[in-house]
Amino acid sequence: EPIALAELVDEVIDQFNLIAYKKDIKLLRHLNDECIVYGDADRLEQVIRNLLDNALTYTPGGKQVEVRLEQKGEDVTLLIRDEGIGIPTKEIDAVKQRFYRVKKARERKDGGTGLGLSIVSQIIAKHGGTFSLESTENVGTTASIHLKGIL
Ligand code: ATP
Ligand code: MG
């Protein structure tokens, strides 16, 4: 089914607004509302939820999280950028594996299972897209999703 991604992203951000507010994290959205992709809306919602959950969980209060949705030609990009604790370079691939959590996250005892990013990877692969992470420890993390949009 064709999905209006900005609407979906908006809905998920609304679900997280109170959590962000309580944590004193500013949640910014820059969404191109013309992006349409083919896919499974429930699964894509799960992707956005998992990535936003991570961004808010691994970012301290007072910082910000930005969600950006862009389209250039048929390439749709969804970026979730945080100013959090970051992921050590040597673990950037491992965190996409099931049950993998970096040591710092395990010490936080915030109850994560380490499944979120493996689910994101699987869903995006099924949609024919790509998912990547870029991160600098103690600076922040950007999760990027690329999908083919409808022109
Ligand atoms: P859950 O299953 O509840 O999502 P989780 O958040 O631990 O548990 P993943 O979402 O798969 O699992 O993330 C795996 C690990 O990658 C996390 O435990 C954390 O160490 C690291 N990580 C993921 N996203 C971020 C982020 N935005 N900033 C810093 N570390 C992150
Ligand atoms: Mg997670």
Q: Where are the alpha helices (DSSP H) in the chain?
A: 5-22, 41-57, 103-107, 116-126
Provide the 3-class DSSP secondary structure of residue 83: coil
* Residue with CA nearest ligand 1 atom 10: 116
140 lines ligand 1 (CB under 6 A): no
For the stretch 6-58, pLDDT in tens is 999 999 999 999 999 999 999 999 999 999 999 999 999 999 999 999 999 99
Ligand 1, residue 55: give the atom nearest the CA: 27
| pTM given for the model | 0.96
Query: What ipTM, to 2 d.p.?
Result: 0.99
Tell me, in angstroms, the distance from the centre of ligand 2 to residue 26's CA. 19
- Ligand number nearest CA of 91 is 1
Cα 6-11-16 angle, rounded to 5 deg:
120
* Residue with CA nearest ligand 1 atom 16: 95
* Residue with CA nearest ligand 1 atom 5: 114
